[in-house]
Amino acid sequence: MTRWFPFVPERRLAAAVAAAAALWLLPAPVGPAAGAAALGVLALLLAAEFVRLPTGRTLTVAREAPASVGLGDTVELTYRVTNPTGTPVSARLRDLLPACVEGGLGERTVQVPARGVLTLPVPLRGLTRAEAPLGPVGARLTTALGLLGARVRVAPPDTIRVVPSMSGVRRFRLLALQHRLDAAGVRTLRRRGEGQGFAGLREYAVGDDPRHIDWKASAKRAKLITREFTIERSQTVLTLIDAGRGMTQLAGEFPRFEHALSSAMILTDIAAAAGDRVGTLVFDDGIRAFVPAQRSHGALQAIREAVVPVTASPREPDYASAFRFLAAHQRKRALVVLFTDVLGVRASKALLAHVARSAERHLALVVALRNDPLHALAVPGAVTSASGLFAHAAAAELLESREEALERMRRAGAIVLDVSPSVMTASVVNRYLELKARGAL
């Protein structure tokens, strides 16, 4: 803990000095005597407050912060003010947080009791992925007299990392445990036949196979209970995430890249839980991050750590380099899920060629992120002016070119999802579960 110049005058002291000075204007000998007496009393009060007022050597300000916060998630910072003296203190606290987070104290006045500890929890939200020191905390302390203030500054060494959000992963895990994945838009797919393993019990739902009803469990719980089965089939799932120029555009509050990253993390977690080997490749005009396919409980954490420093860049994506790297490092057949932006036939020429070539060896799933404002502009009812008519025509032409590019990918053997970033996760997970149930790989 460090200190500034420890004591500063407060407004109340200035008012008291002005009042004492006004007494000197009274006629002699009353005025000078009263003024001197007032100044003497004020000096005694200042001496008393000087002795009683805590400083940085006595009163302590501490901060407890988590090591990381997910992008868009909110965690709790805890400030702890300890006053070991016998004097209650009013503390005006202020912190200076980095730009990658929002929240914290701001500026707040609190009352700290004598020989007491004040615990102050405040929210902290991740805004942009980065790692930065949390910054200093300042406090201005006053007592009930309010004549002097003590200024204290503490600079904890703590840092905060804003990392890809895991809240979506945790939500899907919880829904899966509660057999409520349908609440997130994920359909439960079943495959009849041999090779199924018992997974657990859940409440019977309309459309379930009556042959799977567990009558003993149903009698015990007084409602229909059905058995769930899993398909014992392992495969490799590799996510390719475009971090190029098109992914820097905002989709709501965050760039499209962050939506793709979040969906890829959730897909990775679900695939790993199903026993698949999982890995990831992030690229723009070069390889930004790579985690080879692996089957382990730490696969999701390894991928998360690898992508923490990666953000979308203004550079054009080099699909040729990315697919060459993929061919060199993933020779066995895999489900390759590519998250990217598709603008049109001409702009996506390189992507079309390499997706077609990749589809000869792997099962390619292209997740094409829609530009929602562009789709809204192409709706005929959105035209309200002459300038709007030109914008509508341009948007419609771009979307037509984009659909042609997606159709060429489908004809080349790739599976294509044309989805909005806001509903992308459920669509990707549904398609993965469908491919897994069909044994398409």
pLDDT-derived band at 325, boundaries 50, 70, 90: very high
Token reading at 158: 């703590």
Q: In this structure, are 362 and 395 located in the same domain?
A: yes
Q: In this structure, are 223 and 256 located in the same domain?
A: no
Least confident span in 185-189, 224-228, 419-423, 436-440: 185-189
The CATH number of the domain holding residue 259 is 3.40.50.410
Q: In this structure, are 248 and 220 located in the same domain?
A: no
Q: In this structure, are 301 and 372 located in the same domain?
A: yes
- The reply to whether 284 falls in a domain is yes
Q: In this structure, are 395 and 276 located in the same domain?
A: yes
- The reply to whether 65 falls in a domain is yes
Q: In this structure, are 244 and 365 located in the same domain?
A: yes
Neighbouring-strand partners of residue 79: 63, 120
Q: Are 100 and 144 in contact (CB under 8 A)?
A: no
Q: In this structure, are 37 and 74 located in the same domain?
A: no
Q: In this structure, are 265 and 366 located in the same domain?
A: yes
The string of pLDDT tens digits covering residues 285-302 is 999 999 999 987 788 889
**CB burial readout 348-358, b (16+ within 10 A) else e:** beebbebbbeb
Share of the chain above pLDDT 70, in %: 85
Neighbouring-strand partners of residue 102: 125
- The reply to whether 330 falls in a domain is yes
Q: What are all long-range contacts of 345-351, with beta carbons under 8 Å and residues at least 24 apart?
A: 345/401, 345/404, 345/405, 345/408, 346/401, 347/405, 348/405, 350/319, 350/320, 351/319, 351/405
Going by C-beta distance under 8 Å and a sequence separation of 6 or more, which residues neighbour residue 53? 7, 87, 89, 141, 142, 143, 148, 149, 150
Token reading at 150: 């003590």
Number of domains in the chain: 4
- The reply to whether 1 falls in a domain is no
- The reply to whether 2 falls in a domain is no
Domain span holding position 277: 236-438
The string of pLDDT tens digits covering residues 328-375 is 999 889 999 999 988 767 778 888 888 888 888 899 999 999 888 777
Q: In this structure, are 283 and 402 located in the same domain?
A: yes
Q: In this structure, are 241 and 224 located in the same domain?
A: no
For 145-255, where are the alpha helices, taking DSSP H only?
A: 167-177, 215-221
Q: In this structure, are 17 and 91 located in the same domain?
A: no
The string of pLDDT tens digits covering residues 28-57 is 787 788 878 887 887 888 777 777 777 667
- The reply to whether 178 falls in a domain is no
Q: In this structure, are 311 and 429 located in the same domain?
A: yes
- The reply to whether 3 falls in a domain is no
The DSSP letter of residue 27 is P
